[in-house]
Chains A and B, each alone.
Chain A
């Protein structure tokens, strides 16, 4: 069962443009969402997170938007840089239910073209 879905396996964006990565979830218990970036042969690196009490969180070039009614979140990267090329994972946890385990999506491979 895919409780966290990233429907786009890959995305190509021109350098300097906006990258938008999408994520949907089905479990209503999820109340905390995170984005991780992963380079080949490395572990996932934490990027940005958002609690369900917010609808937006911004950190430099990275902004995460949460639409709870649609059970949808997105990660915006502006402007995109070649170094952003990596696999991006959306993850969710149900902290209010006492669970800090992360449920991951399958990932979206972002390629930023110089």
Chain B
């Protein structure tokens, strides 16, 4: 069964460093998303991406964050200068044009120290 894959599964970084989280969405999906879940809190929407541009973003997604689809298969989330409060589980998701259901990857646990 096709699935969304994310790498790495766990990333530890020093505060102030840049990180790039990577995702390979399901191949025929056209809409891509990033969500995050801070420990003990709910899953929160960050950004959606369609046709090589951001279609929606939340207030969490400030200038420190950016997304890119560098090639036909990868979708990345970059955090330019990480803060302690960026520590969270980051989930990538994707969906087809004709469906409302988003399929999630297994997540990347980001730990900022």
Contact = CB atoms under 8 A, between A and B. Distances in A.
A22 interface: no
B42 A49 contact: no
A103 interface: yes
Contacts of B31: 100
B48 A49 contact: no
A49 B58 contact: no
Contact of A106 (B33, B42, B91): B42
B2 to A, nearest CB: 13
Q: Which of A32, A45, A89, A101 has the most CB of B within 10 A?
A: A101
Contact of B45 (A32, A36, A45, A102): A102
B100 A101 contact: no
Interface string A81-92: 000000001010
Given A101-B56, A102-B35, 12 more contacts: A34-B101, A41-B107, A43-B106, A44-B43, A44-B91, A46-B101, A46-B102, A99-B56, A100-B31, A100-B102, A101-B48, A102-B43
A106 B91 CA distance: 16
Contacts of B104: 36, 43-46
Interface in A26-49: 32, 34, 36, 41-46, 49
